[in-house]
Structure 1
Amino acid sequence: MSSSMTDAPLTGAQEAAFAQFARLRVGALFMEQGMGKSRLALHLIAHRAAKLDAVLWVAPCSVTATIEAEIARWGSPVPVRVLGYETLSQSGRTWLEVLQWVQRPRLLVVADESIFIKNLKSKRTTRMYELRKHADYALVLNGTPLTRDLWDIKRQMDFLSPKIIATDDRAYRKRYFRECRVVDQWGSERIWYEASTINVEHLRSLIAPYVFEARLQLGVTQLDAHTVHPSSAKTRTEYEQTRDEFLQEWNDSQGSEIVLYQLFSHLTRIAANDPVKCASIAEAVAGQHCLVFCNYLREQRLIADALGEAHLLVNGEHSPADRDILFQRSRTERVPLLLTYGVGAFGLNLQHIARAHFASPTFDYGRTIQAASRIRRIGQASDIIYSTHHLSEHGIDQMILKNSQRKDWLAQLMRRSIDPNGQL
């Protein structure tokens, strides 16, 4: 154990989590971003070092460099291998090599940002489940454990151990969800399932011994702001034509959910990539030491062009080494740092910046929270304006922002056949 690990005391929340998990083989750290989950995981690793031969730590690729830096900072008496989810799913050679690597007697597997393993149809999820079979210990780290519905909890608990909830998917749905039916105006019956509050306390009692959840209290002012920007006449025309054409197609398809998803995706892209709006956002953030999160590469480039040279920009086209250089530059260059959600929403510690802007709203509220937490971390002492949302004048942005905190709102909108004409 390194001297830095022993010299720096744990925070109160970290101490409480350590006390709960010190004797368990599995655990879920649902601690809000910025509370030091990585350090606590390393503390747990050091605590049970005599019972471990190795650790496999899997995380989003955008986070792996940060995790390796944390390991170097705090130290580990056990070899830790850090791997990206994307690499695990996309490289067959790496998968086979890792599968051989985990054939060792005493292994801990860490699923960092475990929202990445909630889809049983994805290759990364099935491969993580397979790796888990070879581990004596398992740990999940996440700041937003419930981003969709109660299935999120089921997937994460099953990864830790199927004995925790001890039920298959069919029985789980029957116990914790209620069946809903509605007949639309065309006579088609729609069936869906919504979480039931009747047995939620029972579910909570099953998972409680294996879950520690905490929220970050900074003691600084946290402000929320919303700004509406104009659009060009060309964009307004394109938006209205796209809306009307898709809504007609939606009616012709008798309320197809796929068609409405396509409509919303097209409308959000049109609204976000408007040059007039992006120029207005650039004017609003110019000269600030801030983060600007973008949904689209074109949106990011339009804002960057409007800012001229007075900005930094990071997206998936940059190598990890180039990203690190740009993040280091952001410590001293007091200009906007433009990020895409894919590379900026997870794992980064950017608490040297105290303002964040969202150039356009996203359907994924959990990702917005993740992005905001890049500056909302232990050690932040400045006043924070961390949720300045920049909206277009179009209805789709207002709809997303209004409903994004409600779990499963988009699916419910479609299932109930709510007419979106008046909202878009």
Structure 2
Amino acid sequence: MTVLSASQQQAIDKLEKLRVGALFMEPGTGKTLTAIQLVESSQADFVLWIVPFQTKDNLKDELTKWKFDKPHEIVGVESIGASDRIYMDLYNKLNKYKRVFIVVDESLKIKNVYAKRTQRVIKLGQKAYYKLILNGTPLSKNILDLYSQMTFLSPKILKMDKNAFMNKFCEYTKVQKNHATIKTFISGYANLEYLYSLIEPYVFDAKLNLNVGSNERRKDYWVYDDKLYQKLKDKLIEHIEEMSDVSVLGTFQEMQQSYSLDDDKLRALDELMKDEVEEDKTIIFVKFIATREELQERYPKALVLTYGKGSLGLNLQAYKYTIFYDKIWNYATLEQSKRRTYRMGQKEDVTYWYLDGDVGLESMMNHNIAGKGSLLKSFKAASQHKKKEQLKKLL
């Protein structure tokens, strides 16, 4: 007999009476097992699991572990967006069943209502009798992330199109740029209690309560060789007004990579590895392949992961230390990365270390994560008023 936690049983008690639902359960609270139990309690005759491509094998192992025996298929959400053949094969296959159950894991992958993958998943959802979305962090930037997730479940939940949703729940600020172009930014939110009242009947939200502790600590370093960083910074400030969003983000990446393997940053990591953690119980998260290769060679007993590889789907309770060597600005990805160790099955207290550099980009990323906002948005908002001297101070 499968033993469920209190929150898992509460989720099942709430959602098994419904044909659609959302498990907004923090990573580590056992949302996959909860989803399996919900599917098994239904009358589904076929189950389509839509997951990030890199987690397909993990889900397959989980289904085997829990002896899941309903007819099913596992497909990567990226494949649905990229392959016409895969999408059409699935679309036609679902027509053969009467009570299809579609589960979308990591449903933030369909947050962009204009993306092909999102539109196709919503279309597939129209063939389903039951639908369930799973995500530990339902918002990565703002409440607009909720729109397509709820629309997939049922357009009857929100009963409004995207424009109506934006007008109802978002407040805007208009800024003039170059004496001609008017740009509009989301500056706040409204009617959030009403929004919650619309989605609450279909959502279960569990907090992770473990009998172990979680600590966060920081380690400072100074960038010694900042010539390339300064060069890229000057270029960015000089040309910000004509650069596209993609170009700005690309330059941010170059700036950050320029000091990823700086001598003092490596010195700070060496001190942590020597004095504060146990190498064979430590995960190090990085952004760049060259950095991962260097650190894995430097610390062969540690587990060095890139955020894309390690933030989803891995159960790493054997590790108790996590070092965020390179910063990121996506709150949801950071939370996913933290929950690789702080999850059900963890037996020891866990510690997270953040390396803090003395360049402005590091401070901006800290501010962005603290506010769960967009680095690009905050940076460009400052540029609208052409405060180049202010931007120099920020960076």
Query: Superposition pairs for residues 20-35 of structure 1, below 5 Å?
Result: 20-35=14-29
Contact 1:294 1:358 in 2 (8 A): yes
Q: Which runs of 4+ in 1 moved over 6 A?
A: none
> For 1:369-417, what per-residue CA distance to the aligned partner results, in whole angstroms no more than 9, with x for missing partners?
10110111112120110x3112333221122013313133421342343
Q: Which residue of 2 aligns with 1:265?
A: 253
Q: Is the 8 A contact 1:351 1:376 kept in 2?
A: yes
After TM superposition, the score normalised by the length of structure 2 is: 0.91
- Looking at structure 1, the residues matched to 349 and 372 of structure 2 have their Cα atoms a distance apart, in angstroms, of 29
Q: Does 1:178 align with 2:144?
A: no
2:206 paired with 1:218: no
TM-score (norm 1): 0.85
Q: 2:240 aligns with which of 244, 247, 250?
A: 250
Shift of 1:188: 5.3
Q: CA offsets per residue over residues 278-323 of structure 1, 9 Å max, x none?
A: 464255336521111111101112222333xxx2xxxxxxxxxxxx
Does the CA contact (< 8 Å) of 1:260 and 1:414 recur in 2? Answer: no
Equivalent position of 1:320 in the other structure: none
Q: Which residue of 2 aligns with 1:420?
A: 391
Query: What secondary structure is seen at the aligned counterpart in 2 of 1:401?
Result: helix
Q: Closer, same or farther in 2 for the Cα pair 1:258/1:97, shift >3 Å?
A: closer
Match of 1:396 in 2: 361
Q: Equivalent residue for 1:47?
A: 41
Amino acid at match of 1:244: D
- Where does 1:56-135 land on structure 2 (aligned, <5 Å)? 56-103=48-95, 104-135=97-128
Shift of 1:17: 0.8
1:18 and 2:12 correspond: yes
SS in 2 for 1:404: helix
**Does residue 408 in structure 1 map to residue 373 in structure 2?**
yes
1:264 Cα deviation from its structure 2 partner: 2.2
Change (3 A) 1:282 1:297: farther
For structure 1, which segment, 32-41 or 238-247, has the greater mean C-alpha deviation from structure 2 after superposition? 238-247
Partner of residue 134 from structure 2, selected from 125, 137, 141 = 141
Aligned partner of 2:345: which letter?
G
**AA partner of residue 106 (structure 2):** E
TM-aligned CA distance change 1:43 to 1:66, over 3 Å = same
User: 1:232 offset after TM fit, Å?
Assistant: 4.1
Q: 1:366 and 1:273 mapped to 2: Cα distance?
A: 25
> What letter is aligned with 2:171?
R
In structure 2, give the amino acid aligned to 1:263: T
The amino acid of 2:330's aligned partner reads D
State the distance in 2 between where 1:244 and 1:95 align. 45
5+ residue gaps, structure 2: none
Cα distance in 2 for residues equivalent to 1:279 and 1:96: 53
The question of whether the paired residues in 2 share the 8 Å contact of 1:150 and 1:195 is answered with: no
1:78 positional shift:
1.4
The Cα shift of 1:185 comes to 8.1
Which one of the candidate residues 315, 321, 324 is aligned to 1:349?
315
SS in structure 1 at match of 2:156: coil
What amino acid is aligned across from residue 137 of structure 2 in structure 1? T
Q: Is the Cα contact below 8 Å between 1:158 and 1:165 reproduced in 2? A: yes
The amino acid of 2:327's aligned partner reads: P
Q: 1:159 to 1:273 in 2, by over 3 A?
A: farther
Q: What SS does the aligned partner of 2:144 have?
A: helix
Closer, same or farther: CA 257–106 of 1 in aligned 2, 3 Å: closer
RMSD, aligned α-carbons: 2.1
Equivalent-residue separation in structure 2 for 1:124 and 1:294 (angstroms): 27
Deviation at 1:68, TM superposition (A): 1.1
1:74-94 Cα deviation digits (max 9, x unpaired): 122412211112232333332
1:130 aligned partner, one-letter code: K
